[in-house]
Chains A and B, each alone.
Chain A
Amino acid sequence: MDILVGSVFAGLLIGMILALVALGLTIIFGVMDIVNFAHGEFLMIGMYTGLLTAQGLGIDPLFTLPVAAAVGFLLGVICYFGFIKFLLRGPMVAQLLGTFGLMLFLRNLALLIFGSEDRAVHSGILVGKSFDVGMGIIVPATKLAAAGLSVAAFLGVWLLMNRTKVGKALTATALNAQGARYMGIPTERMNALAWGVGGASVTIAGALLVNFWSVNPFIGLLFTMIAFAIVALGGFGSIPGAFFAGLVVGIITEIPGFWDFFSYTFDAEWMMNVPMTSFKYMWVYVAYFVIVVLRPRGLFGWKQ
């Protein structure tokens, strides 16, 4: 039983962080209808920012979040004005291939600067500590802190989008860019803001992740894929959708744990011999496939 409870809890915890990873993608898509293939690379940059700031300044990785947010915001805005703005003039294919190119560029740039080896944070106030809550739930302190901060960041973005004038302007741009322009909303700046907020939220997620995941220049693709699955599940452009879908995907990545639970409960030898952990991400893509086939606009989607 404790295997089951432990897995559910671990899935929810990682799900909260994955939701934040997907948030940036859904904002950018919601506002501009652009699918950012370089999203995972933004995360990778966030991870390196957290790692290097922590090591360079000798501070705990948790305190590097403001730096990561600033880097992510700037990165998003620079990408928008330096690159994406021009892509918008082209056809849809150009936008897809354009962000794909951005992904390759950022990845290889990271490879050039940081080298291909894995790097990880090995010290910090929370690193390596964990609480045994009982019932098989063991909570690594870094994951708990990351999940908590992730929820806070989510709430912040949600408030920004729903309770402020800027958020309303963003939503208006998302709904009808031309109409918004007639109403005097500077849509160009709104687009840049979407990229900035999207970039900042994903680099924050990166700086949180680096507390317990190692980073290398190739890590981005995995997260791009996961973020796509979350966004598809939650609905393109939906912020609460991204949160709930994040939790669902978090639980899905723990399927090997459930499998273990059932194989020990039934004492089924053939089940124990299935290498489920090797396929842990496969189920995420299966879910992605199913949702795209059955309900293309996702659980909370509103964009057609």
Chain B
Amino acid sequence: MKKFAKTWMFVFGALAVMGLMAPTGATAVEEIKIGVIYPLTGGAAAAGRELRAGAELAAEIANNVMPDLPMTMARNSGVKSLGGAKIKLIFKDHEGNPTIGADQAKKLILDDKVDGILGCYFSSVTKTVSAVCEQYGIPMINGSSTSPSLTQRGFKWFWRTTPHDKWFTKDLFELLVGLTEGKVKGVAAVPKEEIMNLASACEKTEWGSHVSGLIQDFAREYGFNLKKSLLYAAKSADLSSEVRSLKASRADVMLFASYTSDAILMVKTLHAQKARPKIIWGQDAGFEKPEFRETLGDSINGILTRTVFLPKVVEIKKLAGQVNALYKKQTGNDLGGASARAFTGLQTWVAVLEKAGSTKPDAIQAAANSLYIPGKELVVPWQGIKFSTSGDELGQNVLGSGLIGQYQKGKDGNIGLEIVYPFDVSSADMIFPFAGF
């Protein structure tokens, strides 16, 4: 029966599309439908709730006049160039499943006739959904999937606002160079010889081995000496020979791409082996999880991790603080990496529509490709939003950047992340060198 209904819906959908193709006169748009696909149930449901709340808040700001907020979409009620048309979000749940995600995208396009799509958090789902959008010629903006390959497919209807792993790894090398140039807050210029030797250990699935390759490339490009580059199984129960090998390389900087339990095991083993590199840096994931902090306690004081959004941003960026206050009023929580990027994703949608002045896909495409949002209008600490329109990263925002946080013991005795990169938003003096365990 269900299948029967589905078939009928498909037939109706197809008929509806045919109906759309019939020439119609230009009509005033009253509302703009954006389909939003997130993991609203399943293992990532908590992240899904955050994402949804972030997108909803951005829609609310776009649809109402909020003169206090220094951003374009807050000054107008709805999309001004479209006669004040309101943004309407239609949420769908992909349950973390790429196939369900693609189905939902088809439904949104054929049944709900959305003007565009926002989503999908999981890189794997973003991959299938963007393929559907590409097939139907419907624009899609992605706010929070970081697999580099997503923008390397030459898609013409896909734009990504968040920076991806390549940028994050580059950030690290910028930080190292910044250290030698004395740009880091609270640290005098360090001679390059002192942080010349690097060693990396990454987990060996697609993500970690990719990061490992990036580290090798950037080390060469920035003139650092990568003494050792290891891959290990994230399910390893013991990493002592890996750690001994890292130690034997006498590296000054140790770099890791680890999931949660292996990140904890790695740091524990470094601790037990009394490793004393000057810098320990983790590529997000395990190094940023609450368990990492809870399990390892004070011993992580001084460890660095890349991230995309930290509560500290709110203290430094006025706009982020204002939006955070609104967000907190509605949800009771602070903005996080997921919600801040979902907010920015929808904000980008509004800016694109404002610029396009039309809901025709071609107009939206042209507007997105020439879009520029300055960094001061964003809650995230980026230089802005501007999409690449040529080269091998079609549709990637080129003005994004990650953050590098450092675990520091605060005055209240709790370990928290302070921003040390980018330098202009750093929230505390960097601890350098790492004091050892």
Contacts and interface: CB of A to CB of B under 8 A. Distances in A.
A214 interface: yes
Contacts of B265: 118, 120, 214
A244 interface: no
Contact of B237 (A6, A219, A253, A272): A219
A257 B244 contact: yes
A6 B240 CA distance: 11
Contact of A215 (B230, B237, B273, B274): B237
B245 A218 contact: no
A275 B230 contact: yes
A29 to B, nearest CB: 25
Given A6-B244, A257-B245, A260-B245, A278 B237 contact: no
Contacts of B27: none
B419 to A, nearest CB: 28
B107 interface: no
Contacts of B261: 117-118, 120, 214
Contacts of B238: 212-213
A118 B273 contact: no
A99 interface: no
Interface string A1-30: 001001100100010000000000000000
A138 B242 CA distance: 15
Given A214-B237, A254-B241, A122 B295 contact: yes
Contacts of A138: 272-274
A112 to B, nearest CB: 18
Contacts of A14: 240
B218 interface: no
Given A130-B273, A130-B274, A276 B244 contact: no
A122 B272 CA distance: 12
Contact of A216 (B204, B235, B248): B235
B230 A257 contact: no
Given A138-B273, A264-B248, A272-B227, A278 B235 contact: no
A278 B232 CA distance: 6
Contacts of B244: 3, 6-7, 10, 256-257, 260
Nearest to B261: A118
A77 B262 CA distance: 36
Contacts of A253: 241
B264 interface: yes
A191 to B, nearest CB: 32
B235 A118 contact: yes
A277 B237 contact: no
A296 interface: no
Contact of A128 (B204, B230, B237, B272): B272
Nearest to A141: B272
B271 A277 contact: no
A3 B248 contact: yes
Contacts of A222: 237
B232 A277 contact: yes
Nearest to B243: A277
Q: Which of A138, A214, A222 has the most C-beta atoms of chain B within 10 angstroms of its own C-beta?
A: A214
A278 B209 CA distance: 13
A46 B126 CA distance: 43
Contacts of B240: 10, 14
A254 B237 CA distance: 16
A219 B248 CA distance: 28
Contact of B230 (A6, A214, A278): A278
A14 B269 CA distance: 15
A275 B248 contact: no
Nearest to A216: B235
Contact of B264 (A7, A10, A120, A276): A120
Interface string A122-137: 1000001110100000
A272 B249 CA distance: 9
Given A118-B262, A261-B248, 15 more contacts: A6-B244, A118-B237, A120-B268, A128-B299, A129-B272, A140-B272, A213-B238, A254-B241, A257-B241, A260-B245, A260-B249, A272-B228, A272-B249, A275-B229, A280-B241
Interface of A: 3, 6-7, 10, 14, 117-118, 120, 122, 128-130, 132, 138, 140, 212-216, 218-219, 222, 253-254, 256-257, 260-261, 264, 272-273, 275-278, 280
9 contacts: A10-B244, A120-B265, A128-B271, A130-B273, A132-B274, A214-B237, A219-B237, A256-B241, A264-B248
